[in-house]
Chains A and B, each alone.
Chain A
């Protein structure tokens, strides 16, 4: 897209969508075929189609790579969509769940549970059961994210909030919550610093069907809500007076949009940790591919989010194999330059 070109190219937008949609199964397949343990493509196909094969192969495909890939796709789509919603709501292209304190709230929830589990007597049992602390992390992160969103929403004036106030309140709350996370970790987190640090980096390492089953109900709810709020959400980008004059119940739809974005973000952060920059960058990418066509942008945001997190996780698993680079680290490494590039191209 060239800024001097007045007529928006609709065919170009559809071409972009087709490319993105066909990219999704390709990246998904690559995530199944490639990895630390070298499996031949034939083995993988056979295992996928028939469901049987060498026990080792079945385990790698069905227990490790498939749930992980599905989760990457969901987490990516959710974070990106939430970014799109929050950018529309605040009429600010820099908004995302990180800026509004939702990710920080989720992080604090998770850290509290892990640190708390170590200090409470009943908690020790939970923690001593090893892996099971990973089951408590998502729930705690979800609650933390929802509470942080409620706090930010309330402090910005509730139904009478203005977009600017929402952003400023969000930034302040995010700073405080992040400081609490660091403080908690520094004071009481010694024994668990490794667990928490790995989670805070944003990673899909070791995620299984169990995590996916935690995520799925929230994903289903969040994605359905994303569909339902689309039409009213478009009007949030106008001046308040115009949205109201068009018959929009502004307070209600602002609340529902924040609630949906929070649901999508908190559940994604809960299972994968706070992966940054997806919510910030992907909506801009979608806008670049389909300028002026908001419905397409919305759809592309979801798909591109999925593709990017899938690709990021794949690269993270391969570059340093058998070690892993957390997808959150890659997202920041790639996301920041991509964002700067997008900014420069915009007039």
Chain B
């Protein structure tokens, strides 16, 4: 299943955020979308998920423009997790995960054995099985995020788009979520696209990095090729050192914001 955007122009209420952008999402890979706040990461993700209609250009899945297929059909191919999902009051975890099966069900037909099996699998895979009967608000932030991911994978779509899946989590829970996504990618062959703020995590957990700045895609490729000191200076205005560790993964160490470093070098002179 291939997902691509062709010369899309995106924005809200007439305000353009992404003037023109084309991208091809690699299949069965982990793709990280990075860039400073307000650069259009969420906007691009929404467009890729068919939630934001491009002013011009098109988003295509298997070469069909998203506008030409129904929401239900799209839901069978692509799942999206927004930055701030919201649960109905005191809903049970297993019911929420069960919503992932909605595109497979009719108006009257409830969950069949197959659905229940998949909900079970999704909860097991994300480690929330033990909380199946609990209301979601009784869970911690990290657990809740895993429930949302369980709902998304219960949809059994090949492409999974996540808008900042780690933002509101502590360090340990961030890694848990990323490891979970990596495992789903390796074992179930999901194509994952996620926007991340932590560059080290992006480098460690993705095969492919998309770098955005001011609404444009300015670099893409393997993390070791794309994430360089020059790029970090240009995109984030951060002076950083990028070293490749023993594992072959890239590590970025920040020296400070570019402004601060400039001031310091002024003083030295």
Binding site for B on A (CB under 8 A): 6-8, 10, 88, 91, 93, 227-228, 231-232, 234-235, 237-239, 241-242, 244-249, 287, 291-294
Known contacts A239-B84, A241-B51, A249-B71, A291 near B135 by CB under 8 Å: yes
16 contacts between A and B (CB under 8 A): A8-B92, A8-B133, A231-B108, A237-B88, A244-B71, A245-B75, A245-B155, A246-B99, A247-B70, A247-B73, A247-B102, A291-B90, A292-B91, A292-B95, A292-B135, A293-B95
- Rounded to whole angstroms, the CA-CA distance of A11 and B102 in the bound complex is 26
- A241: chain B residues at CB < 8 Å are 46, 49, 51, 80, 82
Additional A-B contact list (18), CB under 8 Å, known A10-B133, A245-B49, A248-B71: A6-B135, A8-B92, A228-B108, A231-B102, A234-B99, A238-B99, A239-B82, A241-B49, A241-B80, A245-B75, A245-B78, A246-B102, A247-B71, A247-B76, A247-B102, A291-B135, A292-B90, A294-B88
Report the minimum CB–CB distance from A291 to chain B (whole Å).
5
- B62: chain A residues at CB < 8 Å are none
- Rounded to whole angstroms, the CA-CA distance of A7 and B95 in the bound complex is 14
- A7: chain B residues at CB < 8 Å are 133-134
- A244: chain B residues at CB < 8 Å are 50-51, 71
Known contacts A246-B155, A249-B70, A238 near B135 by CB under 8 Å: no
- B95: chain A residues at CB < 8 Å are 292-294
Q: Is B72 an interface residue (CB 8 A)?
A: yes
Task: Identify B91's interface contact among A10, A227, A231, A294, CB under 8 A.
Answer: A294
* A-contact 0/1 string along B76-100, CB 8 Å cutoff: 1011111011111111100100011
Which 7 A-B pairs give the minimum distances between C-beta atoms? A247-B75, A247-B103, A237-B88, A247-B72, A245-B80, A6-B138, A241-B82
- Rounded to whole angstroms, the CA-CA distance of A37 and B135 in the bound complex is 51
Report the minimum CB–CB distance from A286 to chain B (whole Å).
12
- Rounded to whole angstroms, the CA-CA distance of A235 and B72 in the bound complex is 13
- B75: chain A residues at CB < 8 Å are 245-247
Report the minimum CB–CB distance from B146 to chain A (whole Å).
16
Binding site for A on B (CB under 8 A): 46, 49-51, 70-76, 78-82, 84-92, 95, 99-100, 102-103, 105, 107-108, 110, 133-135, 138, 155
Find the B residue at minimum CB distance from A249: B71
Report the minimum CB–CB distance from A3 to chain B (whole Å).
10
Taking a contact as CB atoms under 8 Å apart, the answer to whether B51 and A235 are in contact is no
Taking a contact as CB atoms under 8 Å apart, the answer to whether B107 and A228 are in contact is yes
- B90: chain A residues at CB < 8 Å are 8, 287, 291-292
- Rounded to whole angstroms, the CA-CA distance of A275 and B105 in the bound complex is 37
Report the minimum CB–CB distance from A329 to chain B (whole Å).
31
Task: Name, among B78, B90, B155, the residue most crowded by chain A CB atoms within 10 Å (CB to CB).
Answer: B90
- A291: chain B residues at CB < 8 Å are 90, 135
- Rounded to whole angstroms, the CA-CA distance of A304 and B74 in the bound complex is 39
- Rounded to whole angstroms, the CA-CA distance of A237 and B85 in the bound complex is 11
- A242: chain B residues at CB < 8 Å are 80-82, 85-86
Taking a contact as CB atoms under 8 Å apart, the answer to whether A239 and B86 are in contact is yes
Taking a contact as CB atoms under 8 Å apart, the answer to whether B92 and A293 are in contact is yes
- A245: chain B residues at CB < 8 Å are 49, 51, 75, 78-81, 155
Taking a contact as CB atoms under 8 Å apart, the answer to whether B85 and A238 are in contact is yes
- B82: chain A residues at CB < 8 Å are 239, 241-242
- Rounded to whole angstroms, the CA-CA distance of A235 and B155 in the bound complex is 14
Report the minimum CB–CB distance from B84 to chain A (whole Å).
7
- A249: chain B residues at CB < 8 Å are 70-72
- Rounded to whole angstroms, the CA-CA distance of A245 and B76 in the bound complex is 9
Report the minimum CB–CB distance from B205 to chain A (whole Å).
22
Find the A residue at minimum CB distance from B131: A6
- Rounded to whole angstroms, the CA-CA distance of A7 and B94 in the bound complex is 12
- B84: chain A residues at CB < 8 Å are 239
Taking a contact as CB atoms under 8 Å apart, the answer to whether B89 and A287 are in contact is yes
Report the minimum CB–CB distance from A207 to chain B (whole Å).
33
- Rounded to whole angstroms, the CA-CA distance of A249 and B103 in the bound complex is 11
- Rounded to whole angstroms, the CA-CA distance of A228 and B72 in the bound complex is 18
- A227: chain B residues at CB < 8 Å are 108
Report the minimum CB–CB distance from A17 to chain B (whole Å).
16
Taking a contact as CB atoms under 8 Å apart, the answer to whether B92 and A235 are in contact is no
Task: Identify A235's interface contact among B74, B80, B99, B108, CB under 8 A.
Answer: B99
Report the minimum CB–CB distance from B89 to chain A (whole Å).
7
Find the A residue at minimum CB distance from B109: A231
Report the minimum CB–CB distance from A142 to chain B (whole Å).
26
- Rounded to whole angstroms, the CA-CA distance of A246 and B105 in the bound complex is 11
- B73: chain A residues at CB < 8 Å are 247
- Rounded to whole angstroms, the CA-CA distance of A7 and B82 in the bound complex is 27
Report the minimum CB–CB distance from A246 to chain B (whole Å).
5
- A238: chain B residues at CB < 8 Å are 85-88, 99
Taking a contact as CB atoms under 8 Å apart, the answer to whether B155 and A8 are in contact is no
Find the A residue at minimum CB distance from B50: A244
Report the minimum CB–CB distance from B69 to chain A (whole Å).
11
- A247: chain B residues at CB < 8 Å are 70-76, 102-103
